[in-house]
């Protein structure tokens, strides 16, 4: 931010969350520069009228619309009522922590958004794009979130947003700021997109490394043979193939308890969202839930031991995590499967690499009920053949993959940190420009 100069003179806005503003900027309220929720579809709308519907989950924090649902009025959600016209900005007024804010340039005539949005239609006194950037800025987002009430679905009344104070320059300067932000955010977004593509390439490379190692081993000169199993293909001549059920000590499906009470302490419940991409169980990835010792004692078969493998078998199927001392004694929730390998026959760290391989996941797809929510049929899963080298070779390959995937994951983590920094810079740039902390009036496309 140091490369952009400040304005020459400032004044105190009198608003703590806005701070100092350029001396020549004028004070107003959002309701004086935008009409709020001006238009709505009437209940008399014909049932066969086709609408393009935008819900809160469709809008990203960066202001992009990921999806639009085309549906008739009759089949649309009851909240699909707010009409969007050219230049409108929409601001989520429920689940405000999602920061779902965007604007529309030449939208289709039938574009409708949820009543969970406030639709801000700019007056002639403000540039439509400047209004969008203002509402997208950190001070205004934070104020909306802080004034929201409710726990599960925090919400704010649209009329309260209308009371927010703001400071604006004249239209020409607003447009200059909006143009500057369009250019800079486009440049930043392009950098982010390139880095996200690189992450995808690295993830695909990691999968190929795992799949290659667990089916071909580490010796490129070893003599190969046909495994007789389609998903495995060629394997080293001295390897065998065994059904998954023949290398298991125990296999237990999730417990079927209902209506239980959760506690602040007790036996940790392992859930699908805790199963990480790298095959570990991350108990910090979501709010922990605990069941009582009494409840857990009713389900001893799903009590986890070290080296057990937990697999998601419903919904997001095939995610796996290996149990360490930290998770020992925990229990599993619905949608999960407990696999306890026979450690005299198979090395758990080897097995989890096999279960994470791309080719295994393709085979797993054949074990699913093709219903609305895909569910793995456990008997079919246990009948899948897996590659089976000696214990010593399993351990050597697992150790190699631990090191190799650590290196790849380290690169991915660095890139993700870089993306986070770019997103933070993007947000800071918007906030600094629309609140007058930097003067970008003389900025041109060459960066001068």
pLDDT digits (tens, 9 = 90+) for 241-258: 999 999 999 888 766 666
Would you say residue 369 has pLDDT above 80?
no
Q: What pLDDT score was predicted for residue 152? A: 80
Pairing of strands 309-312, 224-226: unpaired
- Residue 232: both structure tokens together: 């495995």
- HSE at residue 359, side-chain half, CA atoms within 13 A, is 21
Question: If you average pLDDT over residues 37-45, what whole number do you get?
Answer: 95
User: Residue 131 phi/psi, 5° resolution?
Assistant: -60, -45
Q: What pLDDT score was predicted for residue 184? A: 96
Of 192-196, 211-215, 272-276, least confident by mean pLDDT is: 272-276
pLDDT digits (tens, 9 = 90+) for 316-358: 778 899 999 999 999 998 788 999 999 999 999 999 999 999 8
Burial of 4 (C-beta count, 10 Å sphere; 0-12/13-18/19+): middle
* Domains with residue ranges and CATH for the chain: 1-13+171-195+391-448 (no CATH), 26-168 (3.90.220.20), 218-388 (3.90.220.20)
State the alpha helices, DSSP H only, in 258-357: 293-297, 348-356
**Count of residues making up the chain:** 448
Of 25, 27, 22, 26, residue with least CA distance to 9? 22
Q: How far apart are CA 217 and CA 88, in angstroms?
A: 58
Residue 131, CA distances (Å) to 32, 34, 87, 138 in order: 12, 8, 9, 14
Which pLDDT band, with edges at 50, 70 and 90, does 365 fall under?
A: confident
- Residue 99: both structure tokens together: 């920061």
Q: What pLDDT score was predicted for residue 448? A: 52
Question: If you average pLDDT over residues 293-322, what whole number do you get?
Answer: 88
Of 37, 192, 156, 168, residue with least CA distance to 433? 168
3-state secondary structure of 219: coil
User: Residue 104 phi/psi, 5° resolution?
Assistant: -130, 130
Of 158, 108, 109, 104, residue with least CA distance to 132? 104
pLDDT digits (tens, 9 = 90+) for 370-385: 666 778 888 899 999 9
Would you say residue 395 has pLDDT above 60?
yes
Would you say residue 367 has pLDDT above 90?
no
Q: How far apart are CA 409 and CA 183, in angstroms?
A: 32
Question: If you average pLDDT over residues 89-109, what whole number do you get?
Answer: 95
Determine contact, residues 171/40, Cβ cutoff 8 Å. Answer: no
Of 46-50, 358-362, 388-392, 421-425, least confident by mean pLDDT is: 358-362
Instruction: Quote the strand ranges of 336-409, DSSP E.
Output: 336-341, 368-369, 375-376, 385-388
Question: If you average pLDDT over residues 82-108, what whole number do you get?
Answer: 96
Question: If you average pLDDT over residues 426-447, what whole number do you get?
Answer: 87
Would you say residue 122 has pLDDT above 60?
yes
Residue 218, CA distances (Å) to 19, 213, 398 in order: 62, 6, 10
Question: If you average pLDDT over residues 163-188, what whole number do you get?
Answer: 96
Would you say residue 444 has pLDDT above 70?
no
H-run or E-run covering 400: helix 391-434
Q: What pLDDT score was predicted for residue 151? A: 82
Which pLDDT band, with edges at 50, 70 and 90, does 238 fall under?
A: very high
3-state secondary structure of 190: helix
- From first CA to last CA, the distance across the chain in angstroms is 14
Strand order in the sheet with 336-341: 248-253, 336-341, 309-312, 320-322
- Residue 186: both structure tokens together: 């486009």
DSSP designation for 418: H
- Dihedral in degrees, nearest 10, Cα atoms 183, 189, 192, 197: -120
Q: How far apart are CA 102 and CA 105, in angstroms?
A: 10
Q: What pLDDT score was predicted for residue 108? A: 92
CB atoms within 10 A of CB 263: 13
343 Cβ contact list (under 8 Å, min separation 6)? 249, 307
Of 405, 404, 185, 399, residue with least CA distance to 276? 405
Would you say residue 223 has pLDDT above 70?
yes
Task: Say what percent of the chain tops pLDDT 70.
Answer: 96
Q: What is the mean pLDDT of the chain?
A: 92
Query: Would the pTM count as exceeding 0.85?
Result: no
- HSE at residue 411, side-chain half, CA atoms within 13 A, is 15
Which pLDDT band, with edges at 50, 70 and 90, does 133 fall under?
A: very high
Q: What pLDDT score was predicted for residue 76? A: 94
Determine contact, residues 102/63, Cβ cutoff 8 Å. Answer: yes
Which pLDDT band, with edges at 50, 70 and 90, does 47 fall under?
A: very high
pLDDT digits (tens, 9 = 90+) for 400-411: 999 999 999 999
């Amino acid at each position: 931010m140091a490369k952009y100069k400040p304005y020459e003179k400032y004044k105190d806005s009198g608003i703590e969350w806005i701070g100092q503003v350029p001396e020549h900027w004028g004070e107003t309220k959002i309701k004086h520069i935008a009409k709020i929720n001006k238009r709505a579809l009437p209940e008399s709308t014909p049932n066969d009228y086709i609408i393009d519907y935008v819900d809160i989950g469709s809008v990203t924090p960066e202001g992009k619309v990921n999806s639009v649902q085309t549906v008739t009025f009759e089949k649309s959600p009851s909240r699909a009522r707010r009409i969007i016209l050219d230049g409108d900005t929409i601001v989520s007024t429920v689940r405000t922590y999602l920061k779902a804010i965007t604007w529309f340039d030449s939208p289709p005539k039938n574009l409708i958004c949820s009543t969970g949005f406030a639709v801000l239609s700019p007056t002639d006194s403000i540039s439509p794009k400047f209004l969008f950037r203002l509402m997208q800025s950190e001070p205004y987002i934070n104020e909306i979130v802080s004034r929201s009430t409710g726990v599960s679905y925090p919400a704010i009344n649209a009329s309260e947003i209308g009371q927010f104070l703001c400071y604006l320059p004249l239209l020409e300067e607003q447009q200059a700021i909006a143009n500057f932000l369009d250019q800079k955010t486009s440049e930043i977004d392009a950098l982010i997109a390139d880095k996200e593509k690189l992450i995808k390439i690295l993830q695909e490379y990691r999968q190929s490394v795992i799949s290659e190692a667990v089916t071909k081993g580490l010796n490129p000169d070893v003599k190969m043979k046909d495994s007789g199993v389609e998903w495995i293909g060629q394997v080293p001549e001295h390897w065998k193939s065994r059904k998954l059920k023949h290398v298991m000590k125990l296999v237990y499906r999730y417990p079927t308890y209902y209506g239980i009470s959760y506690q602040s302490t007790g036996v940790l419940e392992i859930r699908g969202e805790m199963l990480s991409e790298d095959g570990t169980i991350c108990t910090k990835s979501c709010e922990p839930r605990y069941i009582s010792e009494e409840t857990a004692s009713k389900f001893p078969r799903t009590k986890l031991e070290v080296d057990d493998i937990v697999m998601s078998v419903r919904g997001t199927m095939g995610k796996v995590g290996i149990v360490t001392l930290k998770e020992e004694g925990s229990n599993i929730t619905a949608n999960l499967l407990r696999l306890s390998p026979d450690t005299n026959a198979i090395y758990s760290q080897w097995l989890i690499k096999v279960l994470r391989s791309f080719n295994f996941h393709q085979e797993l797809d054949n074990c699913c009920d093709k219903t609305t929510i895909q569910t793995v049929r456990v008997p079919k899963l246990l009948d899948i053949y897996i590659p089976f080298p000696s214990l010593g070779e399993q351990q050597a390959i697992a150790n190699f993959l631990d090191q190799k995937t650590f290196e790849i994951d380290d690169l991915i983590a660095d890139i993700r940190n870089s993306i986070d920094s770019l997103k933070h810079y993007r947000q800071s740039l918007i906030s600094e420009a629309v609140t007058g902390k930097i003067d970008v009036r003389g900025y041109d496309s060459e960066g001068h």
